[in-house]
Structure 1
């Protein structure tokens, strides 16, 4: 697709994922063994797109430090820093001068999706659209804004969240723009494509098409979604060419040590240098590099940060443990807890929901 370039918006601060994002932007968090962004870039490359512009802001230098010019990925990467928050539309407009292709595929950098990207571009071409949106059908659309389409595949409205949605189609955070349409977005100020750009195009009579499918889709903006998305990547439920190992019940990176009688499953990622002790049970979780799960501990659907320790016979469920934190022996953590970096919890503590 020589006439298509990609833009990935990766400027957000990831506040819903704190404390994990205190030291890394959301798209750079280790997800199934590599930064989350690596999975998206691998799918862009597989679709035949070679040139990618990253719209960065928060901890912008971390992207270039890791991916460089993109040559090792078979891509040509350009980085554009957003000095002040400009929203989705403003972020797209901010990178416009670096775009040269006739069509531009835009991605939100925190969405894990399995749609056929070539098919989205084909819909854009065959309908001669000004903008094409990837729309995904979800089981419960009440938590999202809805995007109805007519029999011709034309988007007819952008609706806010409602208890009685008229369609199960939602905006999946992937678009194809005619390059000329990007120049119509106001420059140098915050603009939302969802609230400003797309409704404005409809009002002006522009052709806004919808590419609708039932592909795998997950917004990775919360700890729960991050954990489940990583698990789906490890198990092969979500597609990626960037996995550093085969799909299965667990992904084990170099230098990790797992006791023969530990039970690790459910799409768990075991990071570099991780140690899991005798009789421990780890299900559907993310253990960052250097984490320790001591004998008899139970870790379920949780993130254990780099260098953090879960003590002997502790129970951790639906919890985010920050880097280098220590969870004392026999502690019980559950209910969406977040333990901040370098915190030490004493043995036998029982906590359910507040951040510590």
Structure 2
């Protein structure tokens, strides 16, 4: 069985963070989203992986390389234009050949992994399987209608209630999916939709099954989704105090401080993750906050935020629900006795004076 990861999208809803790289490489809890997907496949026993890449292929290759450090073998599959999930499968057909495979959208995050889903697919031996999750707002998702433990209909963003079982972006297919993709036509938006291919299988009497994911799942396509995924992952992280914390600092709760980090005259309120070689002075950090590698923060109050590598922030500044890109510099130039809480989303190498 092979694995197929899709990393060719442009991530327009996450701009300006995605102007300089693909959304799948944005870190959550100090790890790129795509790496979580690779680890999930490896833990399910799938190590022969293909990654469909687009215009940002160089960035993905720099991070993942040949995959050996992650315990997998990577084949890169160029997709000239993002013309739909089914088109990505079609583009990868020479890699997939006649083997079954698991496909994961590169911006999908979930807890508990996919081992149970993969084992269910292998034992049941259907033509296709989808991992679904119950949602409160199914009108925002592709959903499945089921009868007798089988899928009978797939609907994209239904206008009336059909089901609360949303597609999570994790699929398992037999080689029969290639016949389905060859038989469908582009949708109204000009893309080959994987839901149309699945519906074709259902219409032709093929067995398409589902499994309900018991834990949490996030499509990290928007800033609020990234922050929520960060909160969930930090909540489950393993505490580790590998950096230096001076005697005048206070660490409360689930906190992870990586090697080389320096904490002085600060309060860390977990869950918090501090990256390698970061410097934090006279600050209050947390909860639900990730600070990237080699970041520098002085006189900052920070909560429910993600700061990427090599940020430099000089306060006094209060930030909440913020996403700050790599190598961004933020300076406080106007003196105020009680700075207000602010919310910022800044792309890489930004410069901001407040």
Q: TM-score, normalised by structure 1?
A: 0.83
Paired position in structure 1 for 2:295: 291
Alignment of 1:200 onto 2:196: no
Aligned-residue offset at 1:306 = 3.1
Unaligned 5+ residue runs, structure 2?
Answer: 243-252
- Residue by residue over 1:122-161, the C-alpha shift from the partner in whole angstroms, topping out at 9 and shown as x without a partner, is 433444421111111224434323212112x110111243
DSSP 3-state at the match of 1:119:
helix
Distance 1:192 1:257 in 2: 49
How far apart, in 1, do the equivalents of 2:314 and 2:45 lie? 47
| Matched residue, 1:135 | 132
Report the alpha carbon displacement of residue 116 of structure 1 after superposing the two structures with TM.
Answer: 5.1
Aligned to 2:255: 250
CA distance in 1, matches of 2:283, 2:85: 47
Match of residue 157 from structure 2: 161
2:249 aligns with none
SS in 1 for 2:66: coil
- Of residues 178, 202, 214, the one that matches 1:182 is 178
Cα–Cα, structure 1 residues 200 and 100, in superposed 2: closer, same or farther, change >3 Å?
Answer: closer
Relative to its length, the structure with more strand (as a share) is 2
- Hey, what does 2:192 align to over in structure 1? 191
* Alpha-carbon distance, 1:235 to partner: 2.8
The two structures have a TM-score, normalised by structure 2, of 0.84
Match of 1:51 in 2: 48
Local SS of the residue matching 1:54: strand
Q: 1:106 to 1:332 in 2, by over 3 A?
A: same
**What secondary structure, in the 3-state scheme, does the structure 2 residue paired with 1:170 have?**
strand
Rounded Cα–Cα distance in structure 1 between residues aligned with 2:260 and 2:174: 47
1:13 Cα deviation after fit: 1.5
Report matched runs for 1:312-351 at 5 Å: 312-323=315-326, 324-328=328-332, 332=340, 334-335=342-343, 337-347=344-354
Q: Pick one of 300, 304, 325 that aligns with 2:303.
A: 300
1:103 is aligned to: 100
Match of 2:246 in 1: none
How far apart are 1:316 and its partner, in Å? 0.9
> Where does structure 1 lack aligned partners over 5 or more consecutive residues?
348-356
